[in-house]
């Protein structure tokens, strides 16, 4: 799930569509470029029947769209592509339903990440150090000044730029999974009293 800046809030329907790790996988595969169900089945190792279901949910939610068709006659197939504007999430969700959907969508993304990390740990031959290392896992809970928070966000923006600037990537290049999460945190053991207070909602929205 992409979290870029300067965009409208994601609809609850789109968030609901992203509560499945399988649909996050589909979006990841489509990030490589528009594809037919047949191609997606090859990329993901999933049945076409299951993929038709997931694509239908994503299309109805406005997250993917039919980008064209290929083939002729009975062999004609739809080509699906991602609608970037359907994936954007910046403002705090306005309703309880959107909050619950955003939580479930985030949990689905992290479950998929956990599976990918586990598979990578079990894999042999991965480079685990040096400038071309292929497995990195970092978690930190730290206090950041406003200046440090701005610096961190600048680095995250730079990483996001690298991840979305892959026009020159070829099929011979290795495939990697990257998950970025930055969130405010509570003081351990002090409950909700120390939560950072959310800004008041502006009227007219």
Neighbours of 64 (CB within 10 A): 25
Query: Do residues 43 and 132 touch, judged by C-beta distance below 8 A?
Result: no
| pLDDT number for residue 14 | 86
Measured between alpha carbons, how far is 134 from 55 in angstroms, rounded to an integer?
Answer: 30
Q: Return d(Cα 70, Cα 143) in angstroms, integer.
A: 53
* Domains in the chain, CATH or no CATH each: 12-134 (1.10.10.10)
Residue 84: per-residue pLDDT: 73
Global confidence as pTM: 0.73
SS3 label, residue 82: strand
pLDDT of residue 204: 45
Classify burial at 25, counting beta carbons within 10 Å of its beta carbon; exposed 0-12, middle 13-18, buried 19 or more: buried
The C-alpha angle with vertex 30 and arms to 68 and 4, in degrees rounded to 5, equals: 110
Per-residue pLDDT of the chain (205 residues; tens, 9 = 90+): 443 333 345 578 888 999 999 999 999 899 888 999 999 999 899 999 999 999 999 999 989 999 899 888 888 999 999 987 666 555 555 678 888 888 999 999 999 999 999 999 998 888 888 999 999 999 999 999 999 999 999 999 999 888 877 667 777 888 889 999 999 998 876 555 444 554 554 444 4
């Amino acid at each position: 799930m992409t979290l870029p800046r300067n965009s409208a809030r994601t609809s609850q329907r789109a968030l609901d569509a992203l509560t499945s790790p399988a649909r996050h996988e589909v979006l990841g595969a489509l990030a490589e470029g528009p594809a037919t169900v047949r191609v997606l089945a090859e990329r993901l190792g999933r049945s076409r029947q299951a993929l038709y279901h997931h694509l239908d949910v994503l299309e109805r939610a406005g997250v993917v769209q039919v980008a064209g068709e290929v083939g002729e006659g009975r062999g004609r197939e739809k080509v699906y592509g991602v609608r970037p504007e359907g994936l954007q999430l910046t403002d705090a969700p306005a309703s309880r339903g959107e909050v619950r959907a955003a939580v479930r969508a985030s949990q689905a993304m992290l479950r998929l990440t956990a599976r990918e990390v586990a598979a990578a740990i079990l894999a042999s031959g991965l480079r685990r150090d040096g400038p071309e290392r292929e497995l990195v896992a970092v978690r930190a809970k730290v206090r950041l000044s406003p200046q440090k928070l701005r610096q961190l966000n600048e680095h995250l923006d730079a990483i996001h730029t690298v991840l979305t600037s892959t026009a020159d990537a070829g099929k011979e290049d290795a495939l990697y999974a990257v998950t970025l999460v930055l969130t405010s945190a509570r003081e351990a053991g002090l409950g909700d009293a120390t939560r950072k207070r959310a800004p008041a909602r502006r009227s007219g929205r």
